[in-house]
């Protein structure tokens, strides 16, 4: 079970499913907006819809 402040690091080859898993985590956390790959930026912050934690996709 993930709790606020927990850190999840994903590492893998291109196309391994890291962003797909992150989308699922974002859906479970109830973050706002589409979760996309941060390929061309350092990080994307997806704020929560309610009182939950934000998702930071690096």
Q: What's the pLDDT score for residue 21?
A: 92
The Cα 52–Cα 31 span in angstroms is: 8
CB contact set of 16 (below 8 Å; sequence gap of 6+): none
Question: Is the torsion defined by CA of 35, 24, 55, 13 positive or negative?
Answer: negative
Range of the domain at 33: 1-58
Helix (H, G, I), strand (E, B) or coil at 20: helix
Q: What's the pLDDT score for residue 42?
A: 76
pLDDT tens profile 2-58:
787 888 888 888 899 998 998 998 888 888 888 888 766 777 788 888 888 888 887
- Domain count for the chain, please give it: 1
The Cα 12–Cα 49 span in angstroms is: 29
The Cα 30–Cα 39 span in angstroms is: 22
């Amino acid at each position: 079970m993930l709790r606020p402040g927990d850190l999840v690091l994903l590492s893998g080859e291109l196309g391994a499913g890291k962003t797909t898993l992150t989308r699922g985590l974002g859906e479970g956390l109830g973050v706002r907006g589409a979760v996309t790959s941060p390929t061309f930026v350092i990080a994307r912050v997806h704020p929560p819809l309610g009182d939950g934690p934000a998702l930071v996709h690096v």
